[in-house]
Amino acid sequence: MTTTLLDVQHLTKSFGARKVVDDVSFAVGRGQTLGLLGPNGAGKSTTVSMICGLIQAEQGTVMLDGQAMGPGKNAVKFKIGLVPQDLALYDDLAARENLKLFGALYGLSGSQLQQRCDAVLELVNLSDRANDKPATFSGGMKRRLNIAAALLHDPELLILDEPTVGVDPQSRNAIFDSLEALKAQGRTLIYTSHYMEEVERLADHIVIIDHGKVIANETPADLYRRLPAKAALSIDLVRAIAEVDVAALSVLPGVNTVHLSDAGKHLDIALVEHDSAMSLLGWLAQHGHKTSHFSTAKTNLEDVFLTLTGRSLRD
């Protein structure tokens, strides 16, 4: 049976009149990868900051390995490794020198520091660039070095806050390779993102936050069971579709939900079965709606979010 490493209860935080985090609770088991998912501005980064003790919660508690996370200098904070959304590197210091500096802040020195630098550089596949400066690195390489810095002190919990922002697909895959290696080692991870496909690839358990509130807290399989639809149809229209036609489309046989975006020129339709796609395309053609592109797919976590909130994750 998995034991709880992190227990977050009733976290609340406001900035001015705006409540950014509203009674957020969840737990992370030891060795588990939890995906913390939500659109930009949902409260993910603020929640992470409270978990790490970087900002004080107005209400609620954070317990890590049975110890309370408090303000200021706190021994329990050393059990967390944080990969922040903004890069935290010195561009004019070699990669290894960056790591030595961060390692010294964690109290590492001598052969122990050297061994940890070697280990984390190998994990993120940067051993051959150890003596190069981050100023010469791609965005993805900098992100991987950031992950290495967070792992130097061998934390029990690694938190990654949107670690793939602004990186190319090749670099994103390299980051995932490193994270999957950590997962295979039994490391406990929290991965925040507004990209469903990233969380689907990594997470054993998913917490979805919207407008500062937890709207789902379950396994990916349980989330899929919420969906009445089995397939999705994505359509780009030549011209915007009228609301009256969207309403008519919504009640056709085989249609579960219809979501309109791109100023009325894009439709995302959740289908009860794949077989419904062709009849819907035919209906659009009969009603004068020309398509420039369409595609079908199985349902995914983006559809779950749409079902729960009535809007797209990236709206």
**Is residue 50 within 8 Å of 44, Cβ to Cβ?**
no
The residue written with tokens 């890069």 in the block is 87
What residue type is 40 in one-letter code?
Answer: N
Rg (CA), the chain: 22
CA distance 145 to 148: 5
pLDDT of residue 174: 87
CA distance 145 to 83: 10
CA distance 278 to 304: 23
Q: What is the dihedral of CA 301, 307, 310, 313, to 10 degrees?
A: -10
pLDDT of residue 297: 74
Three-class SS state of 111: helix
CA distance 142 to 292: 39
Q: Kindly give, in sequence order, each residue whose CB lies less than 8 Å from that of residue 209, ignoring residues fewer than 6 positions away.
A: 24, 36, 37, 38, 42, 43, 44, 47, 215
**What DSSP state is assigned to residue 160?**
E
The H or E element containing residue 170 is helix 169-184
Could you report the per-residue pLDDT of 226-247, keeping only the tens digit for each? 776 677 889 999 999 999 999 9
pTM assigned to the model: 0.78
**Structure token pair of residue 129:** 């660039």
Provide the CATH number for the domain formed by 231-298 in this structure: 3.30.70.100
Closest residue by Cα to residue 228 from 279, 180, 272 = 272
Could you report the per-residue pLDDT of 118-140, keeping only the tens digit for each? 999 999 999 999 999 999 999 88
pLDDT of residue 244: 93
CA distance 57 to 25: 13
Whether 4-224 and 231-298 share one fold: the answer is no
**Of 222 and 315, more confident:** 222
Could you report the per-residue pLDDT of 266-290, keeping only the tens digit for each? 999 888 877 888 899 999 999 999 9
In the chain, where are the structural domains located?
A: 4-224, 231-298
pLDDT of residue 314: 62
Asked if pLDDT for residue 304 goes beyond 90, the answer is no
4-224 topology per CATH: Rossmann fold (3.40.50)
Distances (CA, A) of 31 to 74, 203, 207: 23, 11, 16
Asked if pLDDT for residue 79 goes beyond 80, the answer is yes
pLDDT of residue 137: 94
Closest residue by Cα to residue 254 from 235, 225, 229 = 229
CA 220 to chain centre: 14
Could you report the per-residue pLDDT of 136-155, keeping only the tens digit for each? 999 889 999 999 999 999 99
pLDDT of residue 271: 86
